[in-house]
Structure 1
Amino acid sequence: MNDTVKRKLNIALRINWFCYVGLLLLFVVRNLLLEGGSIQLWVIQTVPLLLVLPGLIKQRYRSYLWLCFILLLYITTSVVGVMMPTRGWEDGVMVALSLILFFSAMMSSRWHRMQ
């Protein structure tokens, strides 16, 4: 495998984990620590992300592809949330984290298949 591809994959994997953990922490803050949150909403938001966690730990490229499909729901929801007049800082952070995670997961999947 090319050293350039290996280096890009390592960077993308770090970005993946940073954004993945960031999204999970955002859901904890939004639903469990701030007013107006609920445990039910927290479960609904975190369970889809946790479904692909075993594959991400084992670095299977298909898990990164499934993560991209799951993230489309989060991206759609967060973009709608940003456009609402009652938006908060959480919506902007969710847009940024989910988009960065989407692109890095997509490229990680591609670079994993090159191995």
Structure 2
Amino acid sequence: MNDTIQRKLHIALRINWFCYIGLLVLFVVRNLFVEGGSLSLWLIQTVPLLLVLPGLIKQRYRSYLWLCFILLLYITTSIVDVMMPTRGWEDGLMMVLSLILFFSAMMSSRWHRMQ
């Protein structure tokens, strides 16, 4: 049983990092390289994610829980943006990355505690 938990945790951690970095790259592209973006909006979007980065690097399960709480804001915002008539592909990508990161962070936290 412990071997399967280790394997699941390893996969979930890879998904976490992929989606986490994906969100940060999306915010950089959306705000710094696309017309209509701003540096202040980029800071507002990235600082909450960067707050939990030290704990994620140290693989503390509480950081994954805090990441889930922070991601609720991103999920809510992206769902509202996806439903707007002026939506773009970035809104859908943000929603997908946020949801996948939320579920994988939640399961990573659980599997960390089961070890």
Q: TM-score, normalization: structure 1?
A: 0.99
Cα distance in 1, alignment partners of residues 2 and 47 from structure 2: 36
Partner of 2:24: 24
Partner of 2:108: 108
Identity %: 87
Aligned pairs for 1:76-95 (under 5 A) are 76-95=76-95
Where structure 2 has 5 or more consecutive residues not aligned to the other structure, the ranges are none
Cα distance in 1, alignment partners of residues 77 and 87 from structure 2: 12
Query: By how many angstroms is 1:37 displaced?
Result: 0.2
Partner of 1:5: 5
Q: Counterpart of 1:94 in structure 2: which amino acid?
A: M
Q: Size of the alignment, in residue pairs?
A: 115
Partner of 1:59: 59
Which deviations, in whole Å up to 9, do the C-alpha atoms of 1:60-112 show, x marking residues without a partner?
00000000000000000000000000000000000000000000000000000
RMSD across aligned C-alpha pairs, in angstroms? 0.6
Partner of 2:14: 14
The runs of at least 4 consecutive aligned structure 1 residues that moved more than 3 Å come to none
Partner of 1:44: 44
